[in-house]
Structure 1
């Protein structure tokens, strides 16, 4: 049995393989007591980038780790790209700003307004002769502006510039946005076409989580209505249908019912995630080629999707309702999360009307787990990420995390954004209780980020996506 993990790096001038190597060394041990490595490197034949490699784990269940590297496509970012994007956010009214970043938005606004007021006051005072030219304290303002410009040019531009170009659909950004998305979709499509992966997990960090969300949704467009096993020659399915056995009970009934019961409790969410996994297996049994079982986002700006991907909170909500932006759970169609085919097809000697999940229902069969360091008041923690469920839907599992090994202070700093898999040891056991003791999970101490990430990708869980039936448990396994 084989599975693939695709890691998508975040903003900044990343080097090929740096993100992937750090990720893999945190997810699996680097070597055994006898000194033998538990993963090795081989050429990445799916990429045209010769600096990229595939890291392959050893053991009964083989896992191939891929990196989707996109930083080189962001060359040529200029200060105008960043300032235009920041201005668009700056002028938004309060009602369109997510609560988590309101303190930063307000402080930025007041700082800019105070600076403009100082410039105007100094200019007027000098013009009216109230301040001598050689003793004008406002003469330092140009130097201050120059220093701020250099800071934007050499620090913020290297990081925020990537976000500005990818998240802003201005004409000068369209080409690079399309290149990044097209190459990401090509990679996921190639992994599907390999034909030997039972399961694919997509992990996105920072801006990479937005890219992951986009390419998963775009690829689903190609696969959502493919049920290749529904044909007259399939004797097994024909016999089941002739015996009046329902062929799509999960996607037609159980999954929408579980989505309707989502009430914010952990129990209802875990039930929905179990139905997602069973829907995946059901679709696979009918010939759907989709293999992405999990999207895992860490430090994700999707927590602020209404600000970054829409013109306003109501605009982004309407996009999800119109099925432009995939939600979790999916926006409902005429029947649950899908629709019946217009024309029946023959299954054996009887006509059968298949039920298709609609084009924006990727998260009907793909679970979404989001990890974040909480940032109270928008300051003490990872201000880039945050809980995604309030924005994208009640089917997202948000896991607030911390940094173990006595580094709790790190989880309360902005540096936490780069420490989701910085630990190599990590503790085990806390998240193994998920689903068994809801009070312990919701009120107990937060798990370490590395532990939560290991639980979310669940490398030992590939077997259940191959053999699971309607009566089997889908809770993740843990060592």
Structure 2
């Protein structure tokens, strides 16, 4: 078996291959469980100190700055290729005007209706930063009252001005400028958004069409998780349009039907057996097992979709109602209209089966049964692709990761007012229990946003040889047992 893992970097002026190299070190090079450590090093024949890999040019990256990292065979017989989707060079020409319009849109909101409680304190801090920036900007522009400043005042004023200028240039423009331009579909941003998405779709499409891989995993960090979400949504819709039931083998789909029954049960809807659903929360572990079975069934019937997993790290998707829509109601409306896929997919009513499905029969067979061959709708991406989200709990802005958070509530399917989530949300740095409480005594890490694959951070609770966040990341990738 051969698999590909594609990582998509986050905001800022990233260096090509920098993200990929450190990521591979964390999940491959130093993972002693992947390859029998008694095997000699394939390069030297001597005792090994790490798992081997090689960097190779690959024209599927369409950039001479990038390389494919390919590994030796692991103990399960798998070969793994790592790719980086690099998009920082496409986000060029960002100015203060781009950032300013975005910040004003965030600031000028009704805090009672359009600012989620989880980010309210950050919204207040943003107001303070904006006020300080405006103050020093105006202070430098307005004429003085004729009284010359003292030397101390002049020095302090100059230092404050430099701090503000540096903050605007190096933080707001170079870092958050990417966010401002990508999440807001204003005319000056449309070309940048389109090019970034199209290049990502093209890379994944080339990997799929090569026929070289049995499985692809997409991993994304920070703003890259929004980019990846858009890319996967577009790519699945393309496959859905091209691979209809008329182009793939027809046959019963019991695994797809079991998956739909799991969604119905969690939403309290009628099941295919005629019983009513329980309305109990989705068992995410069981749902992800069923997603893998449904994907294998789709592949056996001729489908080409092989993206088995989507792994998000430090994702701002948790703030989707604040960043990507006008309000919580607007976010739900977009999801209901399938502009934004949910996990699990939004089900729709079938007049013949009298059930809710995430698939449909394009032939409109009048005597179809629940397991009758059906086609997933264009936003049913997460019927077949598992979503695991690692986040770091934030406290008082300075510790943890304010940018990240659970995404299950934001991107679960809202079925008649019941949110059904099939996303595995995992709290790391520090380790959290399912109810959000700390699972260890490890203190929160300061600004943990860039530490999701840093082996020098985090606690070792339950994992004596590996920090908790690294162990959970490796578990999500499932290199040995996809």
TM-score when scaled to structure 2?
0.78
| Aligned-pair CA distance for 1:426 | 9.2
Determine which of 351, 354, 362 is the counterpart of 1:341: 362
In the TM superposition, what whole-angstrom CA distance separates every residue of 1:120-170 from its partner, at most 9, and x where no partner exists?
99999x99xxx7744799998798456413321133321111111111111
| Aligned-pair CA distance for 1:57 | 1.3
Determine which of 62, 69, 73 is the counterpart of 1:55: 69
Distance 2:13 2:138 in 1: 38
Is structure 2 residue 378 aligned with structure 1 residue 359? Answer: yes
Distance 1:262 1:179 in 2: 38
Distance 2:223 2:139 in 1: 40
SS for the counterpart of 1:224 is: helix
Give the root-mean-square deviation of aligned CA atoms. Answer: 3.6
Determine which of 245, 250, 270 is the counterpart of 2:285: 270
| Aligned-pair CA distance for 1:177 | 0.7
Q: Which residue of 2 aligns with 1:397?
A: 424
Within 5 A, what are the aligned runs for 1:314-353?
Answer: 314-334=329-349, 335-342=356-363
The number of residues matched between the two structures is 424
In the TM superposition, what whole-angstrom CA distance separates every residue of 1:1-22 from its partner, at most 9, and x where no partner exists?
1111000011111111111111
In the TM superposition, what whole-angstrom CA distance separates every residue of 1:175-215 from its partner, at most 9, and x where no partner exists?
11111000000011011101121111000011111111110
**Residues 113 and 51 of structure 1: is their aligned pair in 2 closer, same or farther, counting only changes over 3 Å?**
closer
Determine which of 52, 61, 72 is the counterpart of 1:38: 52
Distance 1:134 1:426 in 2: 52
Q: Which residue of 2 aligns with 1:467?
A: none
Is structure 2 residue 207 aligned with structure 1 residue 187? Answer: no
Is structure 2 residue 321 aligned with structure 1 residue 306? Answer: yes
Q: Which residue of 1 aligns with 2:445?
A: 412
Q: Which has the higher contact order (CA 8 A, sep 6+)?
A: 1
CA contact (8 A) 1:426 1:451 kept: no
Structure 2: stretches of 5+ with no match in the other structure: 31-36, 42-46, 268-278, 350-355, 413-420, 432-439
Is structure 2 residue 171 aligned with structure 1 residue 155? Answer: yes
| Aligned-pair CA distance for 1:29 | 2.4
Distance 2:198 2:425 in 1: 28
Distance 1:150 1:163 in 2: 18
Structure 1: stretches of 5+ with no match in the other structure: 242-246, 346-351, 433-445, 463-479
SS for the counterpart of 2:55 is: strand
CA contact (8 A) 2:430 2:445 kept: no
CA contact (8 A) 1:228 1:286 kept: no
**Residues 431 and 185 of structure 1: is their aligned pair in 2 closer, same or farther, counting only changes over 3 Å?**
farther
SS for the counterpart of 1:459 is: coil
